[in-house]
């Protein structure tokens, strides 16, 4: 749009420069004609002297009087033409004023174009900001989804723990499952104890057999293993004694597990309610932000339509201005033609006046 304004202004300036060049050319042509007329005046004076000496001067004077009358008539016509010339000069002044108005109008249009560019830049920045906000909201929505998945996993773990506690309570109510498990564990401990004792005996025998000095390191290693095995056997015996006390404490633990199960159920319900509330609150916030973003987008669409309407008005004014410039060009061409006619009339008037003076 700015390029079209520059092109119109440059064209007007070129046309005005052409008018100035034509005027200078006419002035030079008038100077040349004045020189020729001066030469012709000298010739006419010379002819006048010859005519005075000519015996047929009277007849020629009569002819010249007739020619004088015709020249006077032509001078009157030239006066009318001079009035036309004055009107043409007035029209030229109007054209100059119109050119000034056109330049001012061009500056106004350029200012409007700059404002429109700034508005477009501001709209672009608003769109970028809206896109950034949308990306942020999408990121927050992903975080909420991940949090919801985490809450779901935690709820699943709690439900699994509750089911395990329920199964354990059911098994501990009659105590049979625990007693059978303890009996099996005790048998396993006895087997491991016997195996450890056998290994300890074999290790002692190996120590007795190892007499070589090179086997001193191996001897120490076997002794350490034997001590570890003995300590483990003693710990297994202590563990068996503690198991008897544990069986008696199982009945007490049954009641405690019932209470823990009830507490776990309550905690599960509270956790479920908290997770639901924790998921619902971010979703409500996210929905509110999405609604606000939609309102912002609607506002941007409304602004875009308003800017588009204003841009269409500017384009219509530009078309109108182009038409006015075209009409101004036509007027300028008419002025050039009138200037040429005025130059011809001025030449004829000067020639007639000099001819009249010479007579």
Give the domain ranges of the chain. Answer: 2-138+310-358, 152-300
The DSSP secondary-structure symbol of 154 reads H
For position 5, what pLDDT does the model report? 44
Is residue 198's pLDDT more than 60?
yes
Quick: pLDDT tens for 36-89.
877 877 787 777 777 666 656 566 666 666 776 776 676 666 667 666 666 666
Exposure string over 142-167, b if 16+ CB within 10 A, otherwise e: eebeeebeebeeeeeebeeebeebee
Q: Of residues 30 and 271, which shows the higher confidence score? A: 30
Lowest mean pLDDT across 93-102, 141-150, 238-247: 238-247
* Per-residue confidence (pLDDT) for residue 173, from 0 to 100: 58
> pLDDT higher for 104 or 221?
104
Q: What is the pLDDT of residues 167-182, one digit of tens each?
A: 666 665 555 555 566 5
Gap between the Cα atoms of 210 and 220, Å rounded? 11
For the purposes of burial, counting CB atoms within 10 Å of the CB of 234, is it exposed (0-12), middle (13-18) or buried (19 or more)?
Answer: exposed
Please write the tens of the pLDDT for every residue from 77-121.
Answer: 666 766 666 666 666 666 566 556 656 766 676 677 677 777 778
d(Cα 154, Cα 268) in Å, to the nearest integer? 10
Sequence-separated (6 or more) residues with CB below 8 Å from residue 81: 341, 342, 345, 349
Q: Give the predicted TM-score (pTM) of the model.
A: 0.25
Q: Please write the tens of the pLDDT for every residue from 291-346.
A: 666 676 566 556 556 655 655 665 666 566 556 656 656 656 766 666 676 666 66
Cβ-contact 345, 80 below 8 angstroms: no
Q: Are 328 and 9 in contact, with CB atoms under 8 Å apart?
A: no
pLDDT at 2: 47
* Closest among 357, 344, 346 to 44, alpha carbons compared: 357
Position 149 scores a pLDDT of: 72
pLDDT at position 213: 47
CA 235, distance to chain mean position in Å, is: 76
Compute the distance between CA of residue 289 and CA of residue 297 in angstroms, rounded to an integer. 12
Higher pLDDT, 22 or 82: 22
Q: Is 11 helix (H, G, I), strand (E, B) or coil?
A: helix
- Where does the pLDDT of residue 130 fall: very low under 50, low under 70, confident under 90, or very high at 90 and above? confident
As a whole number of angstroms, the distance between CA 25 and CA 28 comes to 5
pLDDT at 206: 60
Q: Which is nearest to 327 in space by CA: 98, 20, 67, 37?
A: 98
State phi, psi for 56 to the nearest 5 degrees: -90, 35
């Amino acid at each position: 749009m700015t390029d079209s304004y520059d092109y119109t202004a440059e064209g007007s300036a070129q046309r005005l420069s052409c008018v100035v060049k034509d005027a200078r050319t006419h002035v030079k042509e008038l100077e040349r004609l004045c020189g020729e007329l001066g030469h012709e005046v000298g010739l006419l004076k010379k002819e006048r002297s010859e005519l005075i000496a000519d015996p047929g001067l009277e007849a020629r004077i009569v002819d010249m009087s007739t020619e004088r009358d015709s020249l006077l008539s032509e001078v009157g016509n030239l006066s009318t033409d001079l009035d036309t010339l004055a009107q043409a000069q007035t029209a030229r002044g109007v054209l100059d004023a119109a050119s000034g108005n056109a330049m001012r109008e061009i500056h106004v249009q350029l200012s409007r174009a700059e404002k429109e560019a700034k508005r477009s830049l501001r709209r672009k920045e608003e769109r970028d900001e809206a896109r950034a906000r949308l990306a942020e909201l999408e990121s927050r929505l992903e975080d909420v989804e991940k949090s919801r998945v985490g809450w779901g996993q935690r709820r699943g773990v709690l439900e699994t723990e509750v089911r395990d506690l329920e199964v354990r309570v059911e098994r501990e109510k009659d105590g049979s499952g625990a007693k059978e498990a303890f009996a099996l564990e005790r048998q396993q401990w006895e087997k491991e104890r016997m195996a450890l004792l056998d290994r300890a005996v074999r290790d002692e025998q190996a120590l007795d057999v190892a007499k070589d000095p090179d086997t001193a390191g191996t001897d120490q290693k076997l002794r350490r293993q034997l001590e570890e095995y003995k300590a483990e056997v003693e710990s297994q015996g202590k563990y068996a004694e503690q198991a008897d006390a544990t069986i008696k404490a199982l009945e007490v633990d049954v009641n405690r597990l019932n209470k823990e199960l009830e507490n776990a159920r309550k905690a599960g319900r509270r956790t479920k309610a908290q997770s639901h509330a924790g998921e619902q609150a971010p979703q409500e916030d996210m929905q509110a932000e999405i609604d606000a973003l939609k309102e912002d987008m609607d506002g941007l669409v409304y602004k875009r339509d308003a800017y588009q309407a204003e841009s269409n008005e500017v384009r219509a004014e530009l078309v109108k201005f182009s038409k006015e410039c075209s009409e101004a060009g036509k007027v300028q061409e008419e002025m050039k033609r009138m200037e040429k006619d005025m130059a011809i009339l001025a030449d004829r008037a000067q020639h007639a006046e000099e001819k009249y003076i010479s007579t």
